Structure 1
Amino acid sequence: MLKRFLTVVLTLVVLLVGTASLFAAYPEKPVTVVVPYSAGGASDIMARLIAEFWKKYTGKDMVVTNVVGAEGAVAAQQMLTTRPDGYTVLWYHQAILGNYYLGVANIKWTDFTPACVVTKTARITAARADAPWKNLKEAIEDAKKNPKKYVYGAGAGGIAYLEYAPVEMAAPGAFRVVPNEGGDAQRITALLGGHVDVVPLALVSAVQYIKNGQIKVLALHDDEPDPFIPDAPTSASLGLPELNFPMTNTFFFPPKTLPGIVSEFNKIIAKIVADPEFKKKLAEVAYATPFFKTGKDLEDFWKKQDAIYKKAAETVK
């Protein structure tokens, strides 16, 4: 009996050591990162920067592939049926929540194997520089006193559409809402042309206009200050806690990817985000900062964002 017991124990030890050794060898070949947006955008730029440092720390290539369509839903659907071997990973952000709660795609973030959230870029509410308000709270109070006088240029769907929800909660029906079929560039054109008075934007799209004094930041869509616009009022400071829409990019593996693979992947990404040169380049190319979370911290963050997006969708539907 003892001999059999020792044999079983020895076998398990060999298996565990062999498995650990297998994962420790990761990666043995190039890893493909699927970016669900066009080349040249913020998500694509950050993915390619990570790929540069992946090569530095592993000696292996990280190949960025762009799969465009339906605010990322096309790439996400493709990832659901991808082999879970650790060599194909999706680089996605909160658009997956917008797609799900607005009925664009029946794909949830929990359908995947989350690896790590890596970066954060700010989103803001902006107005023309000559607008009479210092912040979004003042704009909302003015709109409540003058219903339908001011125009909010929302997106036609996705995050920019849902970002209007907290404003609607604070001042039901006060703004005239004009859906915009385009992205940030179109909303900025409409704002500067006087067609709308308030718009939601990604900070990276607005930086040049903030610097040259054409637009002002009324609110930062986060409860923590942003280092690139430290004086911008946070949503929490304005009494708008639901206006919490930071843009955070996360690596998602296909369903059923083994925890050992995820662990080895995260170890490499942890080295990258701690690299001073990476931080410097990330700031320069995307006005973004490292925002590294794994495991329970990662899940808690996404659960909180999930609840915010769900409530926002219920408000604007």
Structure 2
Amino acid sequence: MNLLKALAATLVVGCAALSATGANAQDFPTEPIKVIVPYAPGGVTDLLARTFQRAIGEAGTLSQPITVVNMAGAGSTVGTRHVMSAKPDGHTLLLHHLGLLSGQAAGMWEHGFADFAPIAGTTRYCHVLAVSASSPYDDLAGFLQDARENPDTIVFGANLGGAIHMAGLVVESLDPEAKLRFAQIGGEVDNIAAIKGNIIQATALSVGSYNQYKAEGLKALFAMAPERAAEAQDIPTGVELGYPDSSLCVQHSWYAPAGTPPEVVSTLADALEGAMNDETVKAFFAGRSMEMTFVRGDALTADLEATYAQFAPLAAGAMAPVQ
């Protein structure tokens, strides 16, 4: 009798657990959703998150509000680890880009996209090489010449192991004798401030961020893109200048903690996909020279794997921090 009671109790508990899991997935979301941006406010990742936050909120696609929380620090690992350790119920999400993959390949951290539940990729954008408007460099040729003749003297601001760092390595690779000095500064907003303060001489910015801040004392030497952006027709591409392997374009992807139910991941992907049709979202993409792309499921996983394979060799030997 005691054995039967024990078995019955086990079955009841097991069924209740299964029922609760199913109910939670079906009822999602049951509380406000936090999107963690692992960078400071004002950068492209932050603005992208807030644009989707508004679009999804106005559409009423999800029954709970979305809040964007900036958790910058330690090369984006503060925010990234916060999401990794969050409850896998879909209420805490991460918005990240190439830096999540390249940082792992560079040995900056052990975690990567495989340690999350990828939801969707929603955009792709390219970089420009940016310097101060008062910089002596007026073109890529002059910049590379100085990096070749005076190695390790041009300080390139970056988030070591991240997308900006990868962009700097691409620039450096354009001349086998060129050598930049990479400094840990942070994300785009931090690097813009560092250029204005003469702490660094160069960095890489998205076309949109460059256009947003160029009036504050910036100029672009070339675009790391296959063709000129509609909003930056005055910036030549590396391809035009004779460097076919000079592009660096980044995809932004959304992630949930590993173990998040597939039904929840699908609900979130549906909400993001629906927001792609929002006119304000379209205007945001167009105004910042971003390509409107949407990928989810197996296609997203394959894309992330291919991107990691592409940048792993470049990132593997990347770590040479300054000061």
TM-score scaled by length of structure 1: 0.75
* Secondary structure, aligned partner of 1:311: helix
What SS class does the counterpart of residue 107 from structure 1 fall into?
coil
Identical pairs, percent: 24
The RMSD of aligned alpha carbons is 3.7
Decide whether aligned partners of structure 1 residues 134 and 245 sit closer, same or farther in structure 2, where only a CA change above 3 A counts: same
Q: Which moved more, 1:81-90 or 1:172-181?
A: 172-181
| Aligned-residue offset at 1:108 | 1.0
CA–CA distance in structure 1, aligned partners of residues 73 and 147 of structure 2: 38
Return the alpha-carbon distance in structure 2 between the equivalents of residues 191 and 39 of structure 1.
Answer: 18
- 1:145 and 1:115, CA in 2 relative to 1: closer, same or farther beyond 3 A? closer
Classify the secondary structure of the residue corresponding to 2:283: helix
The one-letter amino acid of 1:33's match is V
Residue by residue over 1:150-189, the C-alpha shift from the partner in whole angstroms, topping out at 9 and shown as x without a partner, is 7352436233333222233332333453535365466556
Is 1:177–2:181 an aligned residue pair? yes
Match for residue 276 of structure 1 among 268, 279, 287? 279
TM-aligned CA distance change 1:278 to 1:255, over 3 Å: same
Alignment map for 1:1-317 (pairs within 5 Å): 26-57=28-59, 58=61, 59-127=63-131, 136=140, 138-139=141-142, 142-143=145-146, 146=149, 148=151, 151=154, 153-155=156-158, 157-159=160-162, 160-177=164-181, 179=183, 181=185, 184=188, 187-188=191-192, 198-208=202-212, 210=214, 215-223=218-226, 225-238=228-241, 240=243, 242-281=245-284, 288-317=290-319
SS in 2 for 1:72: helix
- Residues 112 and 196 of structure 1, relative CA distance in 2, 3 Å threshold: closer
SS at match of 2:254: strand
Instruction: Tell me the distance in 2 between the aligned counterparts of 1:69 and 1:263.
Output: 30
Kindly state the Cα deviation for residue 133 of structure 1 after the two structures are TM-superposed.
7.3
1:267 Cα shift? 1.5
> Cα deviation per residue 1:116-154 (whole Å; 9 max; x = unaligned)?
012334321134568787753x34664587454973524
Unpaired runs of at least 5, structure 1: 1-18
Residue segments in structure 2 that go unaligned for 5+ positions in a row: 1-20
Contact 2:44–2:209 (8 Å) recurs in 1? no
Aligned residues: 296
